[in-house]
Structure 1
Amino acid sequence: MPSLLSDLRVVEVSAFVAAPLGGMTLAQLGADVIRIDPIGGNIDYRRWPLSDATGTSLYWTSLNKAKRSVALALDTPQGKEIAAALITAPGPGGGVLLTNLPASGWMTYEALSAKRDDLIMLRLTGNPDGSTAVDYTVNCASGFPGVTGRGDEPVNHVLPAWDVAAGLYLATGLMAAERQRLRTGRGQEVTLSLADVMLATVGNLGYLAEVQVNGSQRQPIGNDLYGAYGRDFPTRDGRRAMVVAISNRQWRALGKATGLADKLAMIGPLMDVDLDDEGGRFKARDAINAVLAPWFAARTLDEVRAALDGTGVLWGPYQDFAQLVAEDPRCSTANPLFQQIEQPGVGPVMVPGSPLAFGAAPRETYRPAPRLGEHTDAVLADVLGLSSAEIGRLHDAGTVAGPKEA
């Protein structure tokens, strides 16, 4: 069976998280994603974390799985000419560029579309005006650090949420533009700013409307769940568990599983709140916490798991990354999401594929991230039709590089 996106070829000129993630999302669905890097690698090629044994970037290899790699001397006219030719090469499914690097000179939409008029160019910027921003400078302005934690100082999270969301928006935008091209034959430039991803998300979740409509400012409440009941509790063995009761069914299950239903029911009349309502449970959260905390403190995490699993209680253990790998059965090859691969420069490692599971198509064969320049010769031959002699001359001139030279 052909891959879902086997007829799509995307050229990616990128760095860091968002655009590489967008490209990998497409590659893991079967698209031929060709990443072009300067000889020696782009700015993200050696970014931490690194393999202790080899110094290979675990960051880079994790974000570039299933792609092909071409290394070019992008600081030379001939290197730029080859990159432009790869992007605009004729044929159905090609003529697609994904980038988050400054689009100037040879890499502008105007210059490339002059070579192929149905070109699709997906371009990520920092701010809507094209100025520079990164996840951390966008996040600090989002309002979320101000409501994270419990103190007066803002607290950053380490998840690059806006980069991740932007990468998925890029993949979605590319598919929308490609569908329109199939209908009309026309290409286009599609732009996305990291700041707009943040602003759209803050708006879509109701945070902007809350200020405009109610004139209220969200306050930091630690690990409590805003507007419903949810809270973390320490266990006897020094672990922590998160418990959430959004629906009335979940709320009743929590009381039954802990044997505290009668005590919890007393809170409503005492505080004059309706515990069958999310908002009522949120208002009474401190009293609810006080009833539940001793129950968790008296039990180990395994005892909490035994008491709550299968009861309808919505809960989960807190885990660090090592515990996630060692203890969580979802993070293993028992889950079809994961496969064990041999990653060049790293060794055997368990990696995820696409989290999408299609009923009418099998998961793609998992492919590791390429070595830098691994596919230079093959891509120049396949896409541009260059002969081995022509490719050899480009190597001799230092215009292109294979894995050993790169």
Structure 2
Amino acid sequence: MYQLLSDLSIIEVSSFVASPTAGLYCAQMGAEVIRVDHKAGGLDYDRYMLTKEGWSLAWENLNRAKKSVALDLRSGEGRELLLELTRKTGQAITNLPEQSFLSHAAMSEGRPDMVSVRIMGWHDGRQAMDFTVNAASGYPLMTGPAEWDQETAPPVNQVLPAWDFITGAYCAFAMMAAIHHRTMTGEGSEVRVPLGDVGMGTLGNSGSLAEMLYRGGDRPRLGNAIWGALGRDFISKDGKRFMVAVLTTKQWHAMVEAFDIAEPIAALERETGVEFPHSDHNRFVHRDALFAIVQGAAGALDYAAIAERLAAAGATFERYRTMYEASTDPDLVTNNPLFGPSPKNPSGFAYPATRSFANIPGREAGDPLPAPLLGQHSEEVLAERLALSSGAIGKLIDAGIVATARA
């Protein structure tokens, strides 16, 4: 983790993926992120996958480098402690509803420069999750084999909660923007980020919304082909599947060279009356014929030979892996500086952990830090932030308002 935000403290009241992701990215840049949960753990505390001892590996990784405070958030006293923490700190990230006890109005009472970032469902207040936003977006009905009937084929859900992770990243950015605005003007900000708007806004930003309205209908399914360019999965002689992507003239020439297909390509150009090196459009329109040429060459070679040729030519390609294969791949994980040595994880399970995705030359990234135990920093934070004495904290613990880390 870098120390670019070492002077910043953020209260995070989170569950699931998007909100913890926002705090995680801030923590990886050096911010002190204090996650506050109900004393028994939040809704995501035991989210799959669980170790045999009952530790959530998802929670463990989304909460690295954070501090943990555990309060009885069903009690008025526990809620007031949380509100006081947000006011003293001055910035908070949450996905609790605005109409809850943790409203911006409550957090900013006596703190007009309060900055809060709140993740919502839809802009009109309806609930949403990544999976339901994805259903609304149209993407699941755009994927699947090209031969599937457009009207009756089932949706194909993606397994990555992409809208959650995009929302988390956007919220970290929004927090920094609001803090910058406060530095310039002294004004606080209430920032609301609906998960559904992130999904629909991405459709807009990508040009997909305009495309659908322009065409007056849906884009056809393309299977694994790249929309608007040349690319698809191919199969080697020894049965390995790999992806080749061609979006530039350089990538085109590299693919043609690697597969030694200049002659059949020239014949296709004469037949169609078009040239392929400089035109995504031509390559896309004639993709089936081009795919057949490439697959014919690929099917005569084992993957090792294909990879050597493609790499030597400077092509853009990659072999399909299972996620387990990716997790154990030396280039992707073991020798990748993104991953550092395993810290002392709450689960007790040792494995490579991620540093910040950003790489800043000349700055020390530092080794990954562990996630906290639930309530590990309750006493420390209440003493430092609220100036509570050890005796006062002890009474809160005895009363069940404050919880400390489990063994």
TM score, norm. by length of structure 1:
0.95
| Map of 1:278 onto structure 2 | 280
* Ranges of 4+ aligned residues in structure 1 off by more than 3 Å: none
Aligned partner of 2:376 among 358, 364, 374: 374
Separation (CA, whole Å) in 2 of partners of 1:67 and 1:352? 14
CA contact (8 A) 1:148 1:220 kept: yes
One-letter code aligned to 2:333: C
CA contact (8 A) 2:258 2:306 kept: no
1:145-168 superposed Cα distances (whole Å, 9 cap, x missing partner)? 111112222211111111111000
- Please provide the CA RMSD for this pair: 1.6
CA contact (8 A) 2:2 2:29 kept: no
| Map of 1:394 onto structure 2 | 396
Separation (CA, whole Å) in 1 of partners of 2:337 and 2:132? 36
1:349 deviates by 1.4
| Map of 2:45 onto structure 1 | 45
Question: Does the alignment pair 1:78 with 2:77?
Answer: yes
One-letter code aligned to 1:9: S
CA contact (8 A) 1:236 1:298 kept: yes
One-letter code aligned to 1:58: L
Aligned partner of 1:104 among 99, 102, 108: 99
Which secondary structure does the structure 2 equivalent of 1:331 belong to? helix
One-letter code aligned to 2:317: W
| Map of 2:15 onto structure 1 | 15
1:186-210 superposed Cα distances (whole Å, 9 cap, x missing partner)? 1110001011101111111111111
| Map of 2:249 onto structure 1 | 248
1:313-328 equivalences under 5 Å are 313-328=315-330
Separation (CA, whole Å) in 2 of partners of 1:186 and 1:361? 32
Which secondary structure does the structure 2 equivalent of 1:140 belong to? helix
Which secondary structure does the structure 1 equivalent of 2:45 belong to? coil
1:310 deviates by 3.0
1:1-400 equivalences under 5 Å are 3-51=3-51, 53-89=52-88, 94-150=89-145, 151=148, 152-276=153-277, 277-332=279-334, 334-341=335-342, 342-400=344-402
One-letter code aligned to 2:65: A
Which secondary structure does the structure 1 equivalent of 2:110 belong to? coil
Which secondary structure does the structure 1 equivalent of 2:352 belong to? strand
Give the stretch that moved more between structures: 283-292 or 262-271: 262-271
1:105 deviates by 4.4
Separation (CA, whole Å) in 2 of partners of 1:267 and 1:42? 60
CA contact (8 A) 1:273 1:283 kept: no
1:247 deviates by 1.0
Give the stretch that moved more between structures: 120-129 or 2-11: 2-11
1:382 deviates by 1.4
1:283 deviates by 1.2
CA contact (8 A) 1:65 1:367 kept: yes
1:113-133 superposed Cα distances (whole Å, 9 cap, x missing partner)? 113111111001010012100
Which secondary structure does the structure 2 equivalent of 1:153 belong to? coil
CA contact (8 A) 1:29 1:364 kept: no
Separation (CA, whole Å) in 1 of partners of 2:237 and 2:325? 18
One-letter code aligned to 1:281: R
One-letter code aligned to 1:209: A
Separation (CA, whole Å) in 1 of partners of 2:373 and 2:330? 31
Which secondary structure does the structure 2 equivalent of 1:347 belong to? coil
Separation (CA, whole Å) in 2 of partners of 1:99 and 1:278? 43
CA contact (8 A) 1:96 1:120 kept: yes
TM score, norm. by length of structure 2:
0.95
Q: Unpaired segments of 5 or more residues in structure 1?
A: none
1:234-255 superposed Cα distances (whole Å, 9 cap, x missing partner)? 2233321000111122111111
Separation (CA, whole Å) in 2 of partners of 1:205 and 1:106? 37
One-letter code aligned to 1:260: I
1:250-269 superposed Cα distances (whole Å, 9 cap, x missing partner)? 11111111111111221122
1:360 deviates by 4.9
Separation (CA, whole Å) in 1 of partners of 2:240 and 2:328? 15
1:303 deviates by 2.2
Q: Unpaired segments of 5 or more residues in structure 2?
A: none
Which secondary structure does the structure 1 equivalent of 2:313 belong to? coil
